[in-house]
Every structure is written in structure tokens, then in C-alpha cells.
Amino acid sequence: MIHLGLFPGLYPHVKWFVPHGKEVPVPMAEVITPAFLFWLGVTLAGLLLSALFNEPLERVPLISRVHAVLDRWKPYETLILRIGLGAGLLLQLVTGTYLAPELAADGYWVTALLILAFAGLLSPRTLIVSGAALAVLYVHALADYGLFHGLDYMFYIGIIYYLLVAQTRWRPTATPVLYLFTGLSLAWVGLEKMTLPQLAYGIMEEYQIPTFGFSMENFVLISAFIELGLAWTFIVGILNRFISLVVTLVFITTTTVFGFREIVGHTIVHTLLIMFLIEGQGVFRSPFQFHRSPVLRCLFVLVNFVVLLFGLMAIYIAMGSAASHA
């Protein structure tokens, strides 16, 4: 059955792993606790240090040599995307899903589009076919599961754009768009932990995940801020290669806990992270570099992170509440 509404039901990201019902995001007033403000301060301090050391670290001889080696792989980025995306699509075909582990391929035409998207990756000249097929599948997911849930997978928007422009003069814009939508996707998932923490508690209890001395509530909040902080570094262009490596290692670790479903869900994301590891800053100025003054750069990073956090949280709570009552 196709749901045409924007919010046909609440489908939280963690439904990969635990049952869920009609959970409602908690109001912002309940999210903003003393613990929230404390970890917000820690996150801002981490972002400040990242902004201050972003360029000095690049001048360290060992790091410069590593960057030079990674730069030599840049001509192969599109090939890496083709291979990684193809592997992810094959896993979806094998498991009877599309785009993500919980999206069931509900018709032969969905499977046919997946096959078409895979086939288009076999040649650089037909990447536009893959992009078009994925665009149709993403729109279908939005119609079936709603905009609220579809925003978990915003990185597909970046992938679709990349495939559509890969063989055009707009190719240099493809990777910045990937950075943007991958960062927004990661931020959206982080907000789930802040506003629907009971779902994360359920995962931790079922899988016996250690909290390393923190209370469960603080551990989930810390995890959310880490995701949001990493998302922001992708969006503004701070320590891109280092952050890509960190997120990759985190996903590899979670795979040992959640197993095959995690592999199905994150193979394509791993591919994007490998591309980011190779790309680094890219050919364009990142938003972080728009200001020459170190003080203005730091203010830009910190102030706009707070705007992103509370702006997205307000949207998330409003959309999640509407979805839960649909």
C-alpha cells in the first residue's frame, strides 16, 4: 500500500535492530537537561579544537606525506563508488530489500529498478541510468514510508547527484554535495538518539552494549553528540580525512555487534567514507574556509553548529510527532 502523506508513520532508524511502536519524540524542553548542556559544551570544545588545528595538522610532515599518498588515489574515486555501490545493491537484491535493510522490495518493478541501477554501474557512460533508477526508488521510499523516515537516508540524494553529473562538467561539485547530504543524514540519525532515547536504551539492553562507566542515559546522549559533531565536520569541511577514518572504524566496531544486517545497511556508507578519506578537502573552498580570520572561522563553526542542532531538533520533533499520530 502506498502512503502519500508526508508522515505515514514513525519508522525510527533503530528499527533495524529492535521492535518499535508509536514512539513520540520528547519535547525540546525535556531534551535540554543539565547533562545535555554539559555534553553540548564538550562538543563545542571539541569542534573548537578541530577548527584551530585543522590547518596546522596538515603541515606536519608525516601527515603531509599520508595526504600525498591519498591524493594519488583521487582519479579512482568514481570507480570506488561504482564498486561499493554495486556491492551494496547486490546485498539489497539478495535480502529482498532496497536502499536500506528495513525497506522491503514490495514489487517486481522495485527489484527490476535495483537491477537496472546495478547494471548502470558497469560502465561510466551509463552512471546516469543508475542515478535515475535510484532517484525513482528514493521517491518510492518517501511515498511508502514518509519524508520523516526518508531523511535518514539523505546520503542517497548525494549519490544520485554524483551519478547524474559524473560525466558532465559539473563533476567537481559532486563530492561537496556528497559531503553535505552524508553529514545531514548522520545528523538526522543522531537526533533520533536525543529525542527518542528509549529506542536506543532498548538496543543497549537487548545487545548488552557496555557503557564504559557512563549511565545509559549519558552514554546515549554522548553518542548523539558525537554523531552530530562528526556530521558538522563533514558539512563544513574540518579534518575530513581523519573524521572519515573515525566513522569507518566506528561502523566496523558496530558490525561486530549487529552482524549481517549492519553490513547490508552500511556497505554503501562505508564506500562514501572511503571516498572522503581519499578526497579530503576537495577542489572547492569548504564553508570553514570562507573566513580568513581564525576567530571568525571558530565563531562560524560554533555558532552555526548550535543553529543546526536546535533548528534540526525542532524540525525532527515536529515531524516525528506528526508521524507518530498518523
| Phi, psi dihedrals of residue 104, rounded to the nearest 5° | -75, 135
Asked whether residue 279 is assigned to any structural domain, the reply reads: yes
Residue (of 150, 41, 35) closest to 99 by Cα position: 150
Average pLDDT, the chain: 88
Q: Which range scores top for mean pLDDT: 4-13, 111-120, 168-177?
A: 111-120
Q: Which three cell numbers stand for residue 147?
A: 519524508
Asked whether residue 6 is assigned to any structural domain, the reply reads: no
pLDDT band at 260 (very low <50, low <70, confident <90, very high): confident
| Prediction pTM value | 0.90
- Cα 265 from chain centre: 11
Residue (of 22, 42, 41, 43) closest to 196 by Cα position: 22
Question: How far apart are the C-alpha atoms of 10 and 325, rounded to whole Å?
Answer: 8
268 contacts 251 by C-beta, under 8 angstroms: no
- Cα 184 from chain centre: 6
Q: What is the pLDDT of residues 222-249, one digit of tens each?
A: 999 999 999 999 999 888 888 888 888 8
Asked whether residue 36 is assigned to any structural domain, the reply reads: no
Where residue 230 falls (left for φ over 0; alpha for ψ -120 to 50; beta otherwise) is: alpha
Above 60 in pLDDT, residue 105? yes
Q: Is 52 exposed, middle or buried (0-12, 13-18, 19+ CB in 10 A)?
A: middle
Beta-carbon count within 10 A of 112 CB: 12
Containing structural domain, residue 239: 13-21+43-324
Asked whether residue 178 is assigned to any structural domain, the reply reads: yes
Asked whether residue 266 is assigned to any structural domain, the reply reads: yes
Asked whether residue 35 is assigned to any structural domain, the reply reads: no
* Per-residue pLDDT at 6: 44
* Per-residue pLDDT at 251: 77
More confident residue, 311 or 250: 311
Distances (CA, A) of 208 to 50, 198, 211, 262: 32, 15, 9, 17
The percent of the chain in helix, strand and coil, each rounded to the nearest 5, is 75, 0, 20
Asked whether residue 103 is assigned to any structural domain, the reply reads: yes
Question: How far apart are the C-alpha atoms of 264 and 240, rounded to whole Å?
Answer: 24
- Say how many domains are in the chain: 1
What is the DSSP code (8-state) at residue 177? H
Asked whether residue 228 is assigned to any structural domain, the reply reads: yes
Question: How far apart are the C-alpha atoms of 291 and 237, rounded to whole Å?
Answer: 13
Residue (of 260, 236, 219, 253) closest to 308 by Cα position: 236
Q: What is the pLDDT of residues 127-168, one digit of tens each?
A: 999 999 999 999 999 999 889 889 999 999 999 999 999 999
- The owner of cell 545493491 is 89
